[in-house]
Amino acid sequence: MIALLRRLAFPAVLLAAVACERESNTPLATAAPSAPIAATAAMTTVLAKADAKDGAVDQCVHRCAGCALGMDGKATMPLQVGAYTMHFCKQACLDRYAKDAAGELAKLKVD
């Protein structure tokens, strides 16, 4: 009986993990693009460093700056700052940068 329960428990746990993973990767809604934000030289310097963090210098910051570049952003949540497109992981991060991109970029630690 215990052997049967063990054989059934593993597929159940695996199914739950796959279902949760699929659910968490599905965007709830697509954010409406904000108007482009003009970038100062200081902002452009930070954006260039943040752009290089993902290994591709393509004027797209793929890591979420709202989360200190600690996680991937989503292409469905973009913000145009100067010549750079920034991707954010959630609406709150996008909103914070859309409200004060200069201030937020000044605080961003990129080394």
3-state secondary structure of 17: helix
Whether the pLDDT of residue 27 is over 60: the answer is no
Kindly state whether residue 100 falls inside one of the protein's structural domains: yes
Q: What value, to the nearest 5°, has the Cα angle with vertex 66 and ends 104 and 44?
A: 50
Kindly state whether residue 26 falls inside one of the protein's structural domains: no
pLDDT of residue 1: 58
Torsion angle of C-alpha atoms 91, 96, 101, 104, degrees rounded to 10: -120
Mean predicted confidence (pLDDT) in 29-58: 86
Range of the domain at 69: 32-107
Kindly state whether residue 80 falls inside one of the protein's structural domains: yes
Kindly state whether residue 92 falls inside one of the protein's structural domains: yes
pTM for the model stands at 0.70
Kindly state whether residue 50 falls inside one of the protein's structural domains: yes
Whether the pLDDT of residue 60 is over 50: the answer is yes
- The number of distinct structural domains making up the chain is 1
Whether the pLDDT of residue 72 is over 50: the answer is yes
Kindly state whether residue 10 falls inside one of the protein's structural domains: no
Mean predicted confidence (pLDDT) in 30-52: 87
Kindly state whether residue 52 falls inside one of the protein's structural domains: yes
Mean predicted confidence (pLDDT) in 34-59: 93
Kindly state whether residue 66 falls inside one of the protein's structural domains: yes
